[in-house]
Amino acid sequence: MSIAQLTAVTLPDGSKREVEKGSTVFQLAESISHGLAKKAVAAKLDGKLVDLSTPIEKEVQVEILTSDAPEALDLLRHSTAHLMAQAVLSLFPTAKVAIGPSIADGFYYDFGFERPFTPDDLVKIEEKMRELSKKNLPIERSEVSFPEIPALIEKFEQEGEIFKAELLKEISEKFPGTSVTLYKQDIFTDLCRGPHLPRTGLIKHFKLLSVAGAYWRGKEGNPMLSRIYGTSYFSEEDLKGHLHRLEEAARRDHRKLGPELDLYSIHDVAGSGLILFHPKGALTRSILEEFLRQEHLKRGYDLVMTPHIFKGDLWDVSGHSDHYRDNMYFFEVDKQEYVIKPMNCPGHILIYGNKGRSYRELPMRLFELGTVYRYERSGVLHGLLRVRGFTQDDAHIFCTPDQLQEEIGSVLDFAFDMMNLFGFETEVRVGTKPESFVGTDENWVTATQALFDCLNARNIPFHTEEGGGAFYGPKIQVELKDALGRLWTGPTIQVDFALPERFDLKYMGSDGKEHRPIMIHRTVVGSMERFFGALIEQFVGAFPMWLAPVHATIIPISKENEDYAFEIAKKAKARGLRIEVDERNESLNYRIRDGQMKKVPYMFVVGKKEEEANSVALRSARAGGKSEVLPLEEVFERLLSEIETKALPPIQ
């Protein structure tokens, strides 16, 4: 008779327990409480994530994870991917599994199949998954030792699982001696590192979302696989919340609304990531640009303009030829290399350095709506968010070390005024000195402290990213939070000790000696393109009045009212309102609906009654379409005041 050997385990609260050597984590959970065992999804042994079936062989720290643990969602989603693969194989036995990881908001699985999966397939697959979930099948882990791997490869090959066979071959070649793990539920077995949930019954609240093509191992030329995306949660409420957010995101998507509202387009023949603004989009953008110009002038900036191309030599001096080469467009004319500018800084620096500067001229703030071109891989291009050509509201401030704090403060005030104006919440990060850097320690300390002090003085909460600054200086990055809580890159304030050095910039101090100025790169809205995209999504295409390309559409009820409609239009235009008349031979309801679809803020409906009273029936597209009859003059006043105050439309 052998007596079971015992070993001690330490629980997260510091308490110790004795368990039988070789007993599983699940058994430990059972011994603590039945409720815990029921809720358990995985565990951590000495900090390492493992399955509940893992045996405890020696003294360890054990943390039993339930659905509340931060790691739990990932595990659930990975296990849901396996459940989906099991369902796919049971419905489509000739499909071959490739890989199926969890991702940010869910999971995917790639399959080799004779045709792409269809939405109808997804419905069937989901039904099958529910059936397999109800069976509450155990998910079992097994280990295959290195010598057994060739037999497993052969088995996969016989089954036609060519992708798994290829992966396994590669693992055994790269890591000789290593063992691999298999996860099995019922007759479905997958090569997988795990860990996984213990039973399929824990996978309940999931949804398959879409199908896309994906090359095997992401390489062009490899077989095209059918990738199914889905998501999974521990509660129906969480799943519903996520699906609602997806719907909202789709409703606001600027890539859908932009073309629908005829604001901009992108053309293959012209090049990816290059945006063409149509009349309505260009009008809104130019109102915004003119506003920004005026704001900069008001705040003590000078406007400058610089060309789109410079000789390669300039970028050698700035260091971009070395450090930024992969993102730059080069071309050669008359044996001279040119660069299409990826940044505006060198141009502004040349203007500063054009003559000797005195401390009396500082701070010098040079502003330009500068269009830059940067090469981005085609895979990362995304609507107006990631593009290859964009216009920055870019300024460079040249100042003395003593002026740094005040300058940063006023840039912050500027940035926050703008974000408030557009109704964006913000998140702020400060990046401090990285391991390799240029400039003196003293300058770094002063500059970084200046950033902190400015934020603190304004009660702006922020996260510090230690070492997150650029090698040439610390920075403040502001991100916009849109109506859905998603973050967009917004204002950036970057201190720079390097470029003044490289360009040997100087000013004559009050002491009669030459000094080096400090430079601040800063943008307020960042990229006009990206900000335009953010505005489309924030307002679901219905811009605030001052930015709306059309303020109101006048709709005459019948032919007899057309003259009156055009007469009002003429008066409104004279007052500075942007007006269209919709005299199409369509029903009144059709034209009202059309105006709403086009996100026109107001409609003036005019018939005989309105004409006699010199009034209009005013409908606000944003106030639920209620209409009220008002004297013409009052309508003009109301609209003009909304434009004047730059009032925000209600969040929709």
> By the criterion CB under 5 A, which residues form the site for Zn ion?
192, 345, 521
Per the annotation, the verdict on 399 as an active-site residue is no
The tokens for 178 are 């290593």
Nearer to Zn ion, 192 or 592 (CB): 192
Phi, psi (degrees; rounded to nearest 5) at 347: -60, -45
Per-position DSSP letters for 7-36, written without gaps between them: EEEE-TTS-EEEEETT-BHHHHHHHH-HHH
Among the listed residues 242, 341, 357, 521, the single catalytic one is: 521
The terminus-to-terminus CA distance of the chain in angstroms comes to 74
Q: How far apart are the C-alpha atoms of 360 and 363, rounded to whole Å?
A: 8
Nearer to Zn ion, 280 or 521 (CB): 521
Residues 6+ apart with CB under 8 A from 619: 592, 602, 603, 604, 605, 625, 626, 627
386, HSE (Cβ side, Cα atoms, 13 Å): 8
Q: Which residues pair with 463 in a beta bridge?
A: 429
Per the annotation, the verdict on 207 as an active-site residue is no
3-state SS class at 524: strand
Q: How far is the CB of 238 from Zn ion (least distance, A)?
A: 22
Kindly list the distances between the CA atom of residue 70 and the CA atoms of 43, 48, 74, 428, 453, in Å, as whole numbers in the listed order.
12, 14, 8, 24, 34
Per the annotation, the verdict on 374 as an active-site residue is yes
| 489 within 8 A of 530, measured Cβ to Cβ | yes
Q: Which helix (H) or strand (E) holds 230?
A: strand 224-233
Q: Which residues pair with 493 in a beta bridge?
A: 476, 522
Kindly list the distances between the CA atom of residue 422 and the CA atoms of 268, 418, 487, 545, in Å, as whole numbers in the listed order.
32, 6, 15, 12
Q: How far is the CB of 374 from Zn ion (least distance, A)?
A: 13
Nearer to Zn ion, 226 or 492 (CB): 492
Q: How far apart are the C-alpha atoms of 343 and 520, rounded to whole Å?
A: 14
Nearer to Zn ion, 129 or 192 (CB): 192
Q: How far is the CB of 84 from Zn ion (least distance, A)?
A: 11
Among the listed residues 392, 405, 494, 538, the single catalytic one is: 392
Nearer to Zn ion, 56 or 415 (CB): 415
Among the listed residues 51, 394, 482, 496, the single catalytic one is: 394
Running DSSP on this structure, what letter comes out for residue 55?
A: B
Among the listed residues 320, 341, 374, 522, the single catalytic one is: 374
252, HSE (Cβ side, Cα atoms, 13 Å): 23
Q: How far apart are the C-alpha atoms of 178 and 172, rounded to whole Å?
A: 7
Nearer to Zn ion, 412 or 499 (CB): 499
Give the CA radius of gyration of the chain.
32
Q: How far is the CB of 98 from Zn ion (least distance, A)?
A: 11
Q: How far is the CB of 343 from Zn ion (least distance, A)?
A: 5
Per the annotation, the verdict on 396 as an active-site residue is yes
Nearer to Zn ion, 341 or 515 (CB): 341
Per the annotation, the verdict on 278 as an active-site residue is no
SS3 string, 352-396, reads: HCCCCCEHHHCCEEEEEEEEEECCCCHHHCECCCECCEEEEEEEE
Nearer to Zn ion, 96 or 521 (CB): 521
Nearer to Zn ion, 345 or 548 (CB): 345
Q: How far is the CB of 373 from Zn ion (least distance, A)?
A: 15
Q: How far is the CB of 190 from Zn ion (least distance, A)?
A: 6
Running DSSP on this structure, what letter comes out for residue 69?
A: S
Phi, psi (degrees; rounded to nearest 5) at 559: -50, -40
Residue found by looking up tokens 């073309």 in the block: 259
| Catalytically active residues, by annotation | 345, 374, 392, 394, 396, 475, 521
